[in-house]
Structure 1
Amino acid sequence: MLPPDLAPPPPVLLVHGSRTSRTMWRAQEETLARAGVHALAVDLPGHGDRRGEEFTLDGAVDAVLRGVDALGGGALLVGLSLGGYVAVEARARRPGAILGLVAAGCSTVPATRLRAAWLLAAQRIERLPDGGAALNQALVDRTMSRQAAVDLGAGGFALDVMSAILREVGGADPLAALAAADSPVWLVNGRWDHFRTGERTFLAAARRGGARARLVVVPGSRHLVSLDQPVAFSRVLLEAVADVAAGRGAVPAPAATPAARAGEPVPSGRR
């Protein structure tokens, strides 16, 4: 539960990653409900109940902002991977409506030199007879816990959108977008996430826009941090909710630990 002396908690909008759907957030929705926080998870174009629709970045941002409107016009925005990039863009486009941002698994600039190789691989997989379904399921079974796999796949997998995602998001500039608003930011990455290579640059970009920002690295987790470590991720999420509810409008800087003062990794992941 949240501290009883806080103002009413802000609603939370949850934005899923590529190829999955809003069902990936079931564990966080349960945690937020127990804490008395109203939460809404949305499907992006081409995903979940919207499979078959064309994916565009503008359409994805519109889906997020419509979700914010459904929550009363203001929300703490939480996105993972693709959802993180979309959430960053939505905050930049309507800063007054985004009370805070938790951006997970999206601390790499999309215009990386590897994008062309990823796009080629995605196109080849999409041309397989099953659209890559067997490969996708094998990856899920190998890397996810049983419950995480169930939640991840409950809304179905969008196997034909990856090429469009790479083309659309590849033109985005998340560093400029982070610097375009001043609501508090939490960057949350799994310790073994291959998308955390630019996390320090992303942190600096958020602070450049006037936001107080915190980087949280979750031990023992990979890219899908909310599914790999749902308890740890939900704890960070509740901290963000409490901070926004307190009306501080900023993330308090954590006290330096001996490891941090020595320039070593902080075991707790708080930086």
Structure 2
Amino acid sequence: MGDYADLPGVRTWYETDGKGDPLVLLHGGFCTNDTWGAQRAELAAAYRLFLPERRAHGHTPDVAGPLTYRDMADDTVAFLETVVGGPAHLVGWSDGGVVALLVALARPDLVRKAVVIGATFRPGPECFAAPRMLDAMAPDSPDMRFFRELYEPVTPDGPDHWPVVAAKVIDMWRTQPTLTARDLARVAAPTLVLVGDDDLMTLEHTVALYRAVPDARLAVVPGASHLVPLEQPALVNRLVLEHLAQDTVETMMPVRRATAGGAGVGTG
């Protein structure tokens, strides 16, 4: 079951599940909470889950004007303050990962740990493995059918609003986000960067994200695409739960994580 929260930016639909420390799940672009189906039960066994659907997604209405990641991050901050009631772990998939990064930058006091799955920090034309996919996207195209069928039955704006939302999201992907490595260096939350080895963005872009976020952890899941939480749910769930539970990383030969002034263990 779900409910609405009257946030300053938009009346936001959300669901809750489980008990324990708060964990907010942030879905991907064009998606709804249904796409967390392979994660929900296992994560809810360890955490109190909060699942908001962002503006123009699922049960949450669209808002006049363009869609921006920063507006959705502001909505998420308001959600954390008014519904969650304080700091939480954030797990964001795709667009949800972008939102998680922006929230961690804007309000580090509200983010305990973060997991970003298939996320970007630059616009699609700069980081997508196949940037031309943006040109092929149209509201009525076969590739968009899956998302349209998620949207139409539940949107309060009515199914006829789909072309408007589709155009807004695609435009957002073309022009946003616009973070830099210097911006990402200010992320204070311990962060796991997770990606499929055949994801929408280039692996080089994901590695740049991992390298820019201080003390981040990187997981590249073999034989997986941008839908890695659906394709490899058991592995993704384990990686998420281990990251949230583990406070320090101890390895036998640290290089990137070697302490300042210290040295890693050599082999020669």
Asked if structure 1 preserves the Cα contact closer than 8 Å seen for 2:181 and 2:212, the reply is yes
Correspondent of 2:168 among 157, 164, 167: 164
Q: Name the residue aligned to 2:84.
A: 71
Asked if structure 1 preserves the Cα contact closer than 8 Å seen for 2:127 and 2:205, the reply is no
* SS of 2:168 mapped into structure 1: helix
- Cα shift readout 1:217-243 (whole Å, capped 9, x = no counterpart): 112211121111111111111112212
Correspondent of 2:44 among 33, 50, 61: 33
Say how many residue pairs are matched.
222
Asked if structure 2 preserves the Cα contact closer than 8 Å seen for 1:10 and 1:75, the reply is yes
Query: Which one has a larger percent helix, Structure 1 or Structure 2?
Result: 1
Q: Which runs of 5+ in 1 are unaligned?
A: 1-7, 141-149, 258-271
* SS of 1:194 mapped into structure 2: coil
- Larger relative CO (CA 8 A, sep 6+): 1 or 2? 1
* SS of 1:189 mapped into structure 2: strand
Correspondent of 1:48 among 28, 50, 58: 58
Asked if structure 1 preserves the Cα contact closer than 8 Å seen for 2:69 and 2:98, the reply is no
Using a 3 Å threshold, how does the CA distance of structure 1 residues 253 and 96 change in structure 2: closer, same or farther? Answer: same
Aligned-pair identity in percent equals 25
CA RMSD of aligned residues (A): 3.2
Correspondent of 2:114 among 87, 101, 104: 101
> Which range moved further: 159-168 or 113-122?
113-122
Q: Name the residue aligned to 2:93.
A: 80
Is 1:187 the equivalent of 2:207? no
CA distance in 1, matches of 2:42, 2:72: 25
Deviation at 1:256?
5.7
TM-score, reference length from structure 1: 0.70
Q: Which runs of 5+ in 2 are unaligned?
A: 1-18, 255-268
Asked if structure 1 preserves the Cα contact closer than 8 Å seen for 2:86 and 2:110, the reply is yes
Q: Name the residue aligned to 1:121.
A: 136
CA distance in 1, matches of 2:252, 2:120: 23
Deviation at 1:31?
0.6
Deviation at 1:27?
2.4
Partner amino acid, structure 2, of 1:161: V
Using a 3 Å threshold, how does the CA distance of structure 1 residues 57 and 256 change in structure 2: closer, same or farther? Answer: same
Query: Which one has a larger percent strand, Structure 1 or Structure 2?
Result: 2
Using a 3 Å threshold, how does the CA distance of structure 1 residues 111 and 221 change in structure 2: closer, same or farther? Answer: closer
TM-score, reference length from structure 2: 0.71
Deviation at 1:63?
2.6
- Cα shift readout 1:171-224 (whole Å, capped 9, x = no counterpart): 4215344212221010000121132331221112102xxxx2110011221112
Using a 3 Å threshold, how does the CA distance of structure 1 residues 25 and 66 change in structure 2: closer, same or farther? Answer: farther
Q: Name the residue aligned to 2:261.
A: none
Give the 5 Å matches for 1:1-271.
Answer: 10-35=21-46, 37-54=47-64, 55-69=67-81, 70-107=83-120, 109-110=122-123, 112-113=125-126, 117-122=132-137, 125-126=138-139, 131-132=140-141, 134-137=142-145, 160-168=164-172, 170-171=175-176, 172-173=178-179, 175-195=181-201, 196-207=203-214, 212-243=215-246, 248=247, 251-255=248-252
Deviation at 1:26?
2.4
